[in-house]
Structure 1
Amino acid sequence: MPVQSSFSRSTVIGRLRAAGCVFAEDEADLLLSAGLATHELINAIQRRVEGFPLEHILGWAEFCGLRIRVGAGVFVPRRRTELLVREAAALLGVAGAERLPSTPPIVVDLCCGSGAVGTALAAMVPGIEVHASDLDPAAVRCARLNVLPVGGVVHEGDLYAALPALLRGTVDMLAVNAPYVPTASISSMPHEARVHEPRVSLDGGPDGLDIQRRVIAEAGVWLRQGGHLLIETSGLQAPQTAAAMVSGGLNPRIARSAEMDATAVIGKLL
């Protein structure tokens, strides 16, 4: 591991630990191995001490074994979202086996942020057709850096309004990590998220489910019969998300991972 001569690993760890970084050792190793010039490293360490997300400093986040490009003001993909990807990949494997090779499964990464979900699915399930969309122009710019190299397309706009009309009734998979933090809970989130990630990527309304309800309400218009809607949510919110899917004509099940502290609700269009 290349280490800047002006900084010892222990010095960097000490500065990060004093600033409250829980994984100071790992973060120090990442910063020291990033190939930064001395002045860049000084700036990077200072920014981290001041509370900037490490991923924004490095320019990437690890997700599903990939390096996903992220930038300032863009939501950083969380490890818990890997549950959503695993569940989606398993269903897409079945969907792909049921279709002709000339008609690949169509996947939409809605509220895509950096496009991490769509990018990871393209890597795990080769041959799928990926569309990603987001309302935030900064997220769209970032998503294009990740999604375009895997053959996908990124659209800018509010939920389904961003998508080409020709996708109506043809989508095999809607994979959605919509904001689901209740508005009143945002103030208690970690500094990194609360200050440096866009509120639109966090705020799910009074009970955290406003965007989920909008997604579920129109899912049946875009999914093909037998297609699936997957939504990341919290353990407490999952029953409400599932109930909304029932009202929307979907047959839901709840998937959980204690290891990742993750929950997703998976609905099949009947």
Structure 2
Amino acid sequence: MEFKETTVNGVTYSHVPELGAAHGFSTRLGGVSEGIFATLNLGANRGDDREKVRENYRRFCAAVGTDADHMVFSSQVHGDVVRVCTAADGGLGLSRMEDYEADGLVTDVPGLCLVVFSADCLPLLLHDPVRRVAAAVHAGWRGTALGIAERAVEKMRDLYGCDPGNIRAAIGPCISKCCFETDEDVPNAMTAALGAGALKFIEMREGAKFRVDLKGLNALRLERAGLDPERIAVSPECTACRSDKYWSHRVTGGERGSQAAVIQL
């Protein structure tokens, strides 16, 4: 499974054809927002004009093939809560304010468009084509240490009867090891959670600094949850390296829009 990039009516996004559900990972290209939000800002609470954000979603969802009227948002808090979404959650996004905190969304309801946001954190989409279940996950370093990726797989397994071996995963663009320099708190959290298995994803630097591979750590989490490594696609793109193409919280100091990853059965 590999990522491919597509441009439809000026909207550029990436996807994994083998994932098997309508989905996409946005870039910042192809929208109508201006200034620091130029152009495809999909963050509704960043200070951008809401009508422009709505138009951005219309364009992005049309390009990807998902339904902008049945999106489900959540308030992301860098935790490990995965919320089960039902038909009643349809439109819990731009049309209605979300009323819960969660960093993962899962559903077996056709037509619901699950949405997670990022601007250096890792977006993860999951799909089981056998049981027809989808999930969307936001994993910053805290969520990675807490095991949000595994929590999503567990929810798919325990609530919907998914066999982890059938689940396909796409780890989207995020800050990569080349740019994610941290203090010791991040590697300490990873080794406390994952033991020695985390060490190959952590590089010691000069001055008591470290570089951490969030993509590799989340792929490890997925493998430990039972996924076939051959069914885990990892985007090669780094949001910090390509701040012309993606928003990077680290590069902009927080003056930015947001990417979105969406999936719909």
User: If each structure's strand is expressed as a fraction of its own residues, which one has the higher value?
Assistant: 2
Higher relative contact order (CA 8 A, sep 6+): 2
Q: Give the TM-score normalised by structure 1.
A: 0.32
Larger radius of gyration: 1
